[in-house]
Amino acid sequence: MQSTEDTIRSVVQEVLAELQKKNNGTSVPKRERQDGDWGVFADTDQAIAAANEGFAGLREASMEDRAKIVEIVKRICFEQSEELGKLEYQETKVGRLEHKIEKLQIIKKVPGTEWMKTDAMSGDHGLMIVEYAPFGVIGAITPVTHSLPTLAGNVINMVASGNTLVVNPHPSGKKIACEGVRRFNRAIYAATGLQNVVTIVSEPTLESAERIFQHRDVKVLCVTGGPGVARAAMSSRKKAIVAGPGNPPVLVDETADLDNAARSIIAGGGYDNNLLCIGEKEVFVVESVFNEFMAAMDRAGAARLNSSQVDQLTKAAFSPPENKDDHWHLNRDLVGQHASVLAKHAGMSLPESTPLLFGETDEQNPFVPEEQMMPFVPIIRCRNADHGIDLCEKYEHGFRHTSLIHSRNVRTMSTMGRRMDTTLFIKNGPSPAGLGLGGEGYLSFSIATPTGEGVTNPMTFTRQRRCVMVDDLRIV
């Protein structure tokens, strides 16, 4: 009887494996339906419970299974980037379509199981190893600026280290986030039999986020969003990995390659209409090369606004503070819009392909202190490099997120690096170079600045476990 059951089980496994192979790992065998739609849940508690059950399955799975999941997410993002990028652009209505697609294609650069390691030490009293274990269910908050790329990158990092996750997406990017979760879970189940490796709340609210923050089965929080949700996560009792706000300044000194500086600022500040948290937001240029730099920006393809046009755009982009303790208020309707849309508010008509607007301002212009996420960069004169570093430090606000410099003076670069103390410090290149895109390093869309983890990777989401063998297993 046992032999017959084993034979039947073997035949079923062979058939399922052949079906999976035939459909390149994307076909989904029939299964009993559970609550939820392939990881998408209307109820927050159900989403958390399903992720907890998913963790019970994942912790029994092999490292090979984790690697399969990582490759599935990367493959879906790459092969379906045009379709998914269009869906995200249509829903969020911010950024540039070609960059939505590209951000999914580059998910392949996010590190996976290859980053997992074991540390060992041996001595007179035996052997000690440190292994890096998962926490369990991680509660993730994702932004509208990079809804699916942030979610996909988190899945790769967190599952590579053995965790599952429950996601509360930004309400304006919830549809594409949910669609991504469905596609990931279907393919993961087909390839490994694992369910609910990632779950998501289909109608996210502040209340659902708070429920995730407080639920006992959520062990760690990972928040990529605005200042409000970042503060809420950091005030919870859980370990929080928080990607906070930024306002990245750029210094261009008298030794810089001005044409390279201009091209870099346009490439970074214009990427996805300046939605990147690392994107160049304000540029301080040493006065002796100011006019030459402005001409270099013209040559590189940015569109220059005169003082009157800058004033018109500023009035459209911001409303003034209501009292002395208030700050300028951003016109959210202009966030992530094309430079050509901003230009209309300045009385100009430009082609949609225009990557970036720029114009001279003083440091009091609200485009300087506010993280505005629009494809316009204010250019401010400074007396010299030291004065420029002072201004960069002032308007980065101590976020310690990202700063950039264009210079050939090693001492100036060193001084600014020490003074700014930012998580990312990029020299002589565009801001994406800080995430391995044109520079060395690796990619992640979650950059934990206030909590100090930096650019996240699988090891970010682990806890250390030490195992000691006393007086044995040292063989040297």
pLDDT digits 0-9 by tens, 238-261: 999 999 899 999 999 999 999 999
Lowest mean pLDDT among 2-16, 27-41, 194-208, 401-415: 2-16
Residue 88 one-letter amino acid: E
Check: CB of residue 435 under 8 Å from CB of residue 443: yes
Residue 380 one-letter amino acid: I
182 Cβ contact list (under 8 Å, min separation 6) = 37, 38, 39, 40
Environment class of 404 (CB within 10 Å of its CB; exposed 0-12, middle 13-18, buried 19+): buried
- The pLDDT of 389-417, averaged and rounded, is 98
Residue 275 one-letter amino acid: L
Tokens of residue 468, six digits:
């000691």
Q: What is the pLDDT of residue 19?
A: 39
Euclidean distance between CA atoms 291 and 303, whole angstroms: 15
Euclidean distance between CA atoms 278 and 296, whole angstroms: 22
Tell me what the pLDDT averaged over the chain comes to.
93
* Measured CA distances, 93 to 167, 232, 329, 335 (Å): 21, 27, 20, 10
Asked if pLDDT for residue 12 goes beyond 60, the answer is: no
How many percent of the chain have pLDDT more than 90? 87
Check: CB of residue 334 under 8 Å from CB of residue 366: no
Q: What is the pLDDT of residue 231?
A: 85
- What beta strand segments (E) does 331-461 contain? 357-360, 376-382, 402-406, 424-427, 447-448, 454-455
Long-range contacts of 17-26 (CB under 8 A, 24+ apart): 20/190, 20/191, 23/190, 25/72, 25/187, 25/190, 25/191, 26/186, 26/187, 26/190
- The pLDDT of 30-54, averaged and rounded, is 84
Secondary structure of residue 281 in the 3-state scheme:
coil
pLDDT bucket at 25, cuts 50 / 70 / 90: very low
Q: How many helices (H) and strands (E) does the chain have?
A: 15, 20
- Buried/exposed 120-139: b ≥16 CB within 10 Å, e otherwise: eeeeeeebbeeebebbbbbb
Euclidean distance between CA atoms 91 and 86, whole angstroms: 9
Give the distance between the most distant pair of CA atoms in the chain. 90
Secondary structure of residue 428 in the 3-state scheme:
coil
pLDDT digits (tens, 9 = 90+) for 67-76: 999 999 999 9
Euclidean distance between CA atoms 426 and 439, whole angstroms: 9
Asked if pLDDT for residue 276 goes beyond 90, the answer is: yes
Check: CB of residue 21 under 8 Å from CB of residue 29: no
pLDDT bucket at 35, cuts 50 / 70 / 90: low
Q: Which of 89, 80, 214 is nearest to 152 (CA)?
A: 80
Residue 322 one-letter amino acid: E
Asked if pLDDT for residue 346 goes beyond 90, the answer is: yes
* Measured CA distances, 394 to 197, 235, 363, 409 (Å): 43, 26, 10, 22
Tokens of residue 445, six digits:
């869309």
Higher pLDDT: 176 or 229? It is 176
How many percent of the chain have pLDDT more than 70? 93
Lowest mean pLDDT among 25-29, 111-115, 383-387, 461-465: 25-29
Asked if pLDDT for residue 30 goes beyond 50, the answer is: no
Euclidean distance between CA atoms 54 and 108, whole angstroms: 24
Euclidean distance between CA atoms 271 and 106, whole angstroms: 14
Check: CB of residue 200 under 8 Å from CB of residue 39: yes
Euclidean distance between CA atoms 300 and 269, whole angstroms: 13
Q: Count Cα atoms within 13 angstroms, Cβ side, for 211.
A: 17
Residues in a beta bridge with 139: 166, 221
Euclidean distance between CA atoms 75 and 273, whole angstroms: 26
Is the four-CA dihedral 402, 406, 410, 416 of positive or negative sign?
A: negative
Euclidean distance between CA atoms 165 and 167, whole angstroms: 6
Quickly list DSSP for 387-417.
HHHHHHHHHHTT---EEEEE-S-HHHHHHHH
Asked if pLDDT for residue 428 goes beyond 70, the answer is: yes
Q: What is the pLDDT of residue 225?
A: 80
- Buried/exposed 181-206: b ≥16 CB within 10 Å, e otherwise: bbbbbbbbbbbbebbbbbbbbbebee
Check: CB of residue 276 under 8 Å from CB of residue 361: no
